A = this chain, B = another copy of it.
Amino acid sequence: MQADSALARELRHHYLFCALTEAQQLRLLATAVPRRLAAGERLFSRGDSAAQFFLLRSGCVKLYRLSPEGSEKIMRLIRPPQTFAESVLFMDVPCFPVSGEALDAAELIAFDRETFLGILRESFATCRAVMAHMTRRIQAHWDEIETLALENSRYRVVHYLLGLVPRDAQGQLTVTLPARKSVIAAHVAVTPETLSRTLRALSDEGLIEVAGEAVTVRDVERLRRHMH
């Protein structure tokens, strides 16, 4: 049980698990299935029936939707140690509302839906943690809907960059884009061309410097003020 106890240690501080008793954690781990994905491998497709949700341990996973014409909107970029697809927990006919695919080689754990539901029944604290988590997600969605509806592409790119810097950061600071630029583009709902042009414009204005996947913000405060 070496691997399992390492996993248990990993989970100790995760919002979904930290309120569980030792026994409940063990019960959950007993049905957890480790999984390994190659870069570009698909984990599930939108509409697939779902009996599991996932925890990412390493690598990067994108959750996305495709338009009928084939253009892609990335709904979330998952990074360790995030969980995803928890929403299938509470659906009457559980199936994935988005597709999921590994961007890099990835390691993850699949948890059994029914087992977790059974545990939830015994732990109001975890219920409440789940609900708080869902609330935060809903807020994030509202922010995104507002941004898509009311703001232009430049704003969205700046907003995304600022999302990469720590809350309390100031002054100069370098961040690393979590994925290829075309992936970032699909995430902020612009074309790669527009993203490229926007970054160039920001860099011409002295607000940022771009070197491959490394973006250095010259002055976080100024960039924040810059979004209106």
Contact = CB atoms under 8 A, between A and B. Distances in A.
Interface of A: 65, 67-68, 71, 73, 75, 87, 89-92, 97-98, 120-121, 124, 127-128, 130-132, 134-135, 137-139, 141-142, 144-146, 148-151, 189, 228
- Copies of this polypeptide in the complex: 2
B228 A68 contact: yes
A179 to B, nearest CB: 17
B87 A139 contact: yes
Given A75-B145, A128-B90, A145-B145, A135 B135 contact: no
Contacts of A71: 150
Summarize A's interface: helix, strand, loop or mixed.
helix
Contacts of A150: 65, 67, 71, 73, 189
Nearest to A133: B90
Contacts of A97: 139, 142
Given A130-B131, A131-B134, A98 B142 contact: yes
Given A87-B138, A128-B90, A149 B146 contact: no
A214 B75 CA distance: 35
A187 to B, nearest CB: 10
Contacts of A128: 90, 120
